[in-house]
Structure 1
Amino acid sequence: MNIQTKFHGDTEISNEVIYTFENGMPGFLDETQFVILPLEDTSLLVLQSVTTLEVAFIITSPFEVFPDYNVKLTDEVLTSLQIEAEEEVLVYTILTVREPFAKTTANLQAPIVINNKKRIAKQYITNDTSFSMRQPLIPNQEAK
């Protein structure tokens, strides 16, 4: 199938690469199907709605940028995503890209959690206040 994307234009995808967010995402409850596409010339990714061109989020693995990051999934999340093994889980964080890029922040309090085997996902809003919704991607840049 062909979809219109914010950063890649007209893109052909297969049903096998679609992730289903059964309850949508906060603020985008009607957006239930997404794909993950590479963002050209970067190590970042795009979480792109299959149905709405404008709904696309820049994401990255929080573990690559924040080595001390951890997220404890509740039993409710494990059940709703049908997670049976750790190997099935992918975790991403949504970035708020700013100019200059050094001021970009990551939302570590609400990661995207994916069961990669069953292709179901959700944005999990944690109660862990040790991580910020606006964590600077590059340390010591927030005041500059």
Structure 2
Amino acid sequence: MLVETKTKGCVEISNDRLISIPSGLFGFEEYTDFALVDSEYEPLMWLQSLQEKNLAFLLIDPFLITDDYEAEIDDNELLKIGIKDPADVMVLTIVTVPDDGSAVTANFQGPLIINKKNHQCMQAILDGSKYTTKHNILEALKRKEAK
């Protein structure tokens, strides 16, 4: 499928990279059809809206940033996107790159949960104050390397 992207122009995307987010993302509920598009900066990738070419989110696997990340989500919530087996789960977090040069952060409190089998996705909100929406990626990588 040809997808018009915010950052790379028109790109060919295979069907296994298409993602449906039935409830949308928080603040962007009307957009439900997306594609995972490789970024020029691995291991980052883009979550590109299929409905609005100028809507794209930079994503990263939180487990690459820290070893102790835990996305504890109620099983009933996971059933909404058809997840029955933990092996079917892919977790990604939205990255923010501020224009002012301040820290690059990941939203550890609102991860995206993707069912790898049916390509359904949801954005979860993790309870408690263990994680923030502005988890400093560089600081976390430095701590990880120091271990």
Q: Report the Cα offset of residue 33 of structure 1.
A: 0.8
**Matching residue of 2:134:** 134
- Distance in 1, matches of 2:44 and 2:120, equals 21
**Matching residue of 1:47:** 47
1:48-97 C-alpha deviation (Å, 9 max, x unpaired)? 11121111000100011011111111123221011111111000010111
Residue type at the aligned position of 1:112: L
Q: Judging by fraction of residues, say which structure has more strand.
A: 1
What do you get for the CA RMSD once the two structures are aligned?
Answer: 1.8
**Matching residue of 1:96:** 96
Extract unaligned runs of 5+ from structure 1: none
Q: Secondary structure at the match of 1:53?
A: coil
Residue type at the aligned position of 1:103: A
**Matching residue of 1:116:** 116
- Structure 1 stretches of 4+ with a deviation exceeding 3 A read 99-102
Q: Secondary structure at the match of 1:81?
A: coil
Identity across the alignment (%): 31
**Matching residue of 1:68:** 68
- Aligned residue runs from structure 1 range 31-46, under 5 A: 31-46=31-46
Extract unaligned runs of 5+ from structure 2: 141-147
Q: TM-score, normalised by structure 1?
A: 0.89
Matched positions, count: 140
105-114 or 76-85, larger mean C-alpha shift: 76-85
**Matching residue of 1:22:** 22
- Distance in 2, matches of 1:38 and 1:128, equals 32
- Aligned residue runs from structure 1 range 76-87, under 5 A: 76-87=76-87
Q: Secondary structure at the match of 2:92?
A: strand
**Matching residue of 2:145:** none
Contact 2:96 2:104 in 1 (8 A): yes
- Distance in 2, matches of 1:65 and 1:87, equals 20
Residue type at the aligned position of 1:113: I
Contact 2:17 2:37 in 1 (8 A): no
